Amino acid sequence: MRASYERLWTASPPTTGSRPKSFHQRPTLSDQLFHCMLAIIFALGCEFRPPYSGHNSSSNLQENFIKRATSLLNLDIITRPSLSLVQTLVLMARFLQHKGLSNRCWVIVGIAIRAAQGLGLHLDVDEESQVQREERRRTWSACVSLDR
């Protein structure tokens, strides 16, 4: 089981021989979205990783993580809006913005805002808790700040 946890922290793709039987099932969209978000967070974290001798450079790790994230961020996920999707798209846009890839960032921000509007993140919902309301507001605020 240790090998499956280590795959979360490395940029190398998992090997089929090291997967437990439960991993042979097709991952759910929420699992796929979680791993996409995690890969983006790791890619952003590579900006601050000190260089170590004997390890891949931070830019190689970052490139591998972002490739993994973009391969997971497919139409199946994008066409099913959720708060997690919008948050993932915001992280991806922040990464692209940091890298100076403004055209790609603009497209991702557009998708995030349309998904957020579809979910009604710009509106207050009476039935939600204060925590849920705050999470929705902050996510919407991140979308708006990226759009400026």
- The interaxial angle of helices 2-9 and 29-45, nearest 10 deg, is 50
**From the centroid of its chain, how far is CA 52?**
26
pLDDT confidence of residue 8: 52
Give the domain ranges of the chain.
1-72, 81-148
Residue 87 has pLDDT above 60, yes or no: yes
Residue 12 has pLDDT above 60, yes or no: no
pLDDT confidence of residue 41: 95
pLDDT bucket at 48, cuts 50 / 70 / 90: confident
pLDDT, tens only, 88-132: 999 999 999 999 999 999 999 999 999 999 999 999 888 889 999
* Contact between residue 98 and residue 47 where contact means Cβ atoms under 8 Å apart: yes
Nearest Cα to Cα of residue 46 among 34, 57, 33, 55: 57
